[in-house]
Amino acid sequence: MDKPPFSDGVPSIGGSTLNYIDGHWEPASNGKWCERFDPADQTVLVARAPDSSREDARRAVAAASRVQDVWRGWTAPERGRRLFDWLRWIDARRDKLAELLTREEGKILPESAGEVKRSMDILEYTAGMGRRLDGKIYPAEEHDVLCYSIPQPLGVVGLISPWNFPVAIPVWKLAPALIAGNTAVLKPSPLTPLTATMLVRGLEEVGIPPGVVNLVHGGVEPGQELISNEAVNGVSFTGSTKVGKAIARAGSERLLKLQLELGGKNPQIVLDDADLDQAVNGVVTGGLGSTGQRCTATSRALVTEKVYDDFLSRLVARAGSMKVGPGVESGVEIGPLVDDRALSSVSRWVRIAAEEGAGICTGGSRVLSPELAKGIFHQPTVLEAKQGMQITQEEIFGPVVAVIRVKDFDEAISVANSVRYGLTSTVFTRDISKVFRFAEMAQAGIIHVNRPGVGGYSHVPFGGIKESGYGGREVGDEVMNFYTETKMVYVNYK
Ligand code: NAD
């Protein structure tokens, strides 16, 4: 097979995909494969993908190193034009890409379409940086000296992505990496090989030179090679905090430049004066949307006493009536969990919560109705919890929200900040002074007021603090702090 089966650039569902190294499509050198089944119907094979070894990643890094000078030799506007071509290529196939995403990852079609749209917006903004990648001129301390900075590419970058945003995250890593003049090795999640394959096929078709972008499928092994390989100058990783910490430890051995986007345990505060319809919608969208499988998922609702009962009963009614089913079916609001491991983990957390005394207000189990039994569906679940229980502290990554009663604004802030994560934090209130106090005091990289705590604009920095993020923001102009090094130049022209 000289390349995977594509139809107008779209990989076939149920087919085998390949690695893309130095401009060639090829299987893993060890001959191993991973299989991915449709999470909405596990009897359906979605893809076979190479289960690559360190050797495949090593060869991909070598290819990226060989063409480094070629790619950085292109002017930034030339690189930008190629990324605009990629944008048009994706646009022409956006519905197909969204469908692939839903079949492979499970999220409902409108969410997949939204993810593809966001990826395109980010790509548009980043491609335009080809004409905005500027340095700075500094005042000189001496006469007849010009002091200025040049942003330079790192060289070869490793990009390791998770399964839950398998289009947006590779795009928001590849686009800034390339526009800055870096060459790249993308290692997507083994659960979402087809979307990554399609994105890379697009780059090939718009004429990105061989070796500039390489794709290595597989799990831990090729990922570890990207961390330890001396020819990799930086790694941008999105995934769990546990793996992120392991990468930070391994990377510190050689002072590897790292950008880590990690997990979350995001709170939404609801104060006495909140618009309760908006606040309930905030939790439903933020906590149960995308089946709760978002780093930004709202997994804690902290509600003040006066509105607590009203809020809880409205939330329970809304969550309990949500339609669960395959993401391709219209009207479905909650798709499947990504795999059996995710299901066992969510079930375990619900069990622990119940053992610790949390009340299960709605949901709490796998959906086993005959028409959904072949998929990995879990009921939208609302728990009444007490601060300090494990489910108020740990990321669950499923459609489970813990509602916690708090006395007032001050207690809400202290509970909100009581976790080791700091990705997003949200408040619903009409009190302007509390809005700004919250924005000041909430320990999170992204704050939302009177809107769901998920999503973000495509030209705005994205990322978290505490154990949610490390090494600078993604998206927007700030992303260049990672993908470039600042070189200072002093010129005496006397
Ligand atoms: P994961 O940490 O299991 O895997 C992420 C990626 O790292 C995958 O490609 C995986 O194959 C690879 N990997 C695993 N072990 C590795 C190792 N030792 N060395 C190198 N690479 C390794 O995460 P996941 O289950 O794919 O994704 C879900 C997690 O991602 C959640 O915790 C979620 O909060 C987080 N996430 C964070 C953000 C953010 O921007 N902060 C966005 C999306 C997802």
Domain assignment present for 15: yes
- Interval 412-421 mean pLDDT: 98
Domain assignment present for 285: yes
Residue 4's pLDDT band (boundaries 50, 70, 90)? Answer: confident
Cβ atoms of 316 and 361 within 8 Å: the answer is: yes
Domain assignment present for 419: yes
Residues 246 and 329 in one domain: no
Model pLDDT for residues 440-464, shown as the tens digit of each residue: 999 999 999 999 999 899 999 999 9
- Determine if ligand 1 sits within 6 Å of the CB of residue 299: no
Residue 432 sits in a domain of what CATH number? 3.40.309.10
Give the pLDDT score at 2.
81
Q: Is the pLDDT of residue 207 over 80?
A: yes
**b/e burial code for range 370-387 (CB count within 10 A of at least 16 → b):** eebebbbbbbbbbbbbeb
Residue 276 lies in domain: 266-457
Return mean pLDDT, the chain. 97
Residues 275 and 424 in one domain: yes
In the reported structure, the alpha carbon of residue 162 is separated from the centroid of ligand 1 by a whole-number distance in angstroms of 5
Residues 331 and 243 in one domain: no
Active site residues: 261, 295
Domain assignment present for 463: no
Residues 229 and 371 in one domain: no
Cβ atoms of 298 and 267 within 8 Å: the answer is: yes
Residue 59's pLDDT band (boundaries 50, 70, 90)? Answer: very high
Residues 305 and 327 in one domain: yes
Q: Is the pLDDT of residue 391 over 80?
A: yes
Torsion of CA 295, 298, 300, 303, to 10 degrees: 160
Whole-number Cα distances in Å, 73 to 76, 82, 152, 160 = 9, 14, 11, 26
Residue 123's pLDDT band (boundaries 50, 70, 90)? Answer: very high
Give the pLDDT score at 475.
97
Domain assignment present for 462: no
Residues 150 and 227 in one domain: yes
- Determine if ligand 1 sits within 6 Å of the CB of residue 127: no
> What residue's CA is closest to ligand 1, atom 16?
220
CA 207 to chain centre: 27
Residues 447 and 479 in one domain: no
Distance from C-alpha of 305 to C-alpha of 321, rounded to nearest angstrom: 25
Distance from C-alpha of 326 to C-alpha of 112, rounded to nearest angstrom: 13
> What residue's CA is closest to ligand 1, atom 42?
295
- Determine if ligand 1 sits within 6 Å of the CB of residue 115: no
Domain assignment present for 18: yes
Residues 161 and 138 in one domain: yes
Atom of ligand 1 nearest to the CA of 338: 25
Give the pLDDT score at 456.
93
**SS3 (DSSP) at 344:** helix
Residues 70 and 165 in one domain: yes
In the reported structure, the alpha carbon of residue 347 is separated from the centroid of ligand 1 by a whole-number distance in angstroms of 20
- Determine if ligand 1 sits within 6 Å of the CB of residue 39: no
Give the pLDDT score at 3.
85
> What residue's CA is closest to ligand 1, atom 21?
223
Model pLDDT for residues 278-296, shown as the tens digit of each residue: 999 999 999 999 999 999 9
Residues 84 and 176 in one domain: yes
- Interval 64-84 mean pLDDT: 98
- Determine if ligand 1 sits within 6 Å of the CB of residue 181: no
- Determine if ligand 1 sits within 6 Å of the CB of residue 229: no
pTM greater than 0.95: yes
- Determine if ligand 1 sits within 6 Å of the CB of residue 162: yes
In the reported structure, the alpha carbon of residue 340 is separated from the centroid of ligand 1 by a whole-number distance in angstroms of 17
**In which residue are the tokens 């790694």 written?**
235
Residue 415's pLDDT band (boundaries 50, 70, 90)? Answer: very high
Residues 98 and 138 in one domain: yes
Taking CB atoms within 8 Å and a gap of at least 24, the contacts of 394-397 are: 394/265, 394/349, 395/240, 395/241, 395/263, 395/264, 395/265, 395/299, 395/421, 396/292, 396/299, 396/345, 396/346, 396/349, 397/263, 397/292, 397/293, 397/297, 397/342, 397/345, 397/346
Distance from C-alpha of 382 to C-alpha of 359, rounded to nearest angstrom: 8
Residue 110 sits in a domain of what CATH number? 3.40.605.10
Domain assignment present for 1: no
How many folded domains does the chain comprise? 2
In the reported structure, the alpha carbon of residue 304 is separated from the centroid of ligand 1 by a whole-number distance in angstroms of 34
Distance from C-alpha of 485 to C-alpha of 488, rounded to nearest angstrom: 10
Whole-number Cα distances in Å, 302 to 421, 438, 487 = 16, 13, 47
Residues 27 and 162 in one domain: yes
Model pLDDT for residues 219-264, shown as the tens digit of each residue: 999 999 999 999 999 999 999 999 999 999 999 999 999 999 999 9
Model pLDDT for residues 168-178, shown as the tens digit of each residue: 999 999 999 99
Atom of ligand 1 nearest to the CA of 423: 41
Determine what percent of the chain is predicted with pLDDT higher than 70.
Answer: 100
Model pLDDT for residues 372-385, shown as the tens digit of each residue: 999 999 999 999 99
Give the pLDDT score at 5.
86
In the reported structure, the alpha carbon of residue 243 is separated from the centroid of ligand 1 by a whole-number distance in angstroms of 7
